């Protein structure tokens, strides 16, 4: 009789434990959904335009939570008139700054000062259809890929100055491949 009483006491406890586990799993799933819908996104790099910083197929954590673009940030944005998928580029100049490029020497100038760009693959020789100097209008940014001679960016009139409302977010981390896990800002 004692064994039956012990077993019947365990059964409700086992059910309660299973219920607790299910509740924990559902809570974790809801948290993850809310996190990835409202706070961060996982985005893939498509193409070679950001090499050597980011490579084709890299997966990045991106967020737009209380974000204002700054010079040097890597951002994801949509320009559906150019391409359906999101583009990843580096912010070179923000509203009110003037950008000019000396294509014969491969040097980018912002407000008359040559940029220190240790992250680029090679000097900027590909003009596309850029004619400078240009001042970035209010509410826009000028973006370029780190692989300057194999990047379609603000130098191309099809992209031009990027309206900040089109920015999906700032890239914070590379999460895949695991060998490249970490911050994109070195």
DSSP states along 115-163: ---TT-SS-----TT--S-EEPPTTEEEEE-SSGGG--STTSTTT-SEE
Active-site residue, from 8, 59, 63, 89: 89
Mark whether 157 is an active-site residue.
no
Q: Which two tokens stand for residue 147?
A: 């692989």
Active-site residue, from 8, 10, 11, 49: 49
Tell me how far apart the alpha carbons of residues 60 and 182 are, in angstroms, rounded to a whole number.
Answer: 9
Phi, psi of 94 (to 5 degrees): -115, 180
Mark whether 49 is an active-site residue.
yes
For the annotated catalytic residues, the residue numbers are: 49, 89
């Amino acid at each position: 009789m004692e064994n039956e009483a012990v077993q019947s006491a365990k059964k409700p406890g086992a059910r309660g434990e299973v219920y607790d586990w299910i509740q924990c799993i559902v809570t974790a799933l809801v948290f993850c959904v809310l996190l990835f819908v409202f706070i961060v996104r996982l985005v893939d790099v498509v193409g070679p335009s950001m090499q050597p910083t980011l490579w084709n197929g890299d997966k990045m954590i991106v967020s737009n939570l209380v974000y204002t673009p700054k010079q040097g940030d890597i951002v994801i944005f949509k320009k559906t008139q150019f391409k359906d998928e999101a583009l990843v580029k580096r912010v070179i100049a923000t509203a009110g700054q003037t950008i000019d490029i000396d294509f014969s020497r491969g040097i980018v100038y912002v407000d008359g000062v040559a940029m220190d760009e240790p992250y680029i693959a090679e000097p900027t020789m590909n003009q596309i259809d850029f004619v400078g100097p240009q001042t970035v209008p209010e509410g826009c940014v000028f973006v370029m890929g780190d692989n300057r001679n194999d990047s379609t960016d603000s130098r191309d009139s099809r992209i031009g100055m990027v309206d900040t409302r089109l920015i999906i977010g700032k890239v914070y981390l590379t999460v895949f491949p695991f060998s490249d896990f970490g911050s994109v800002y070195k």
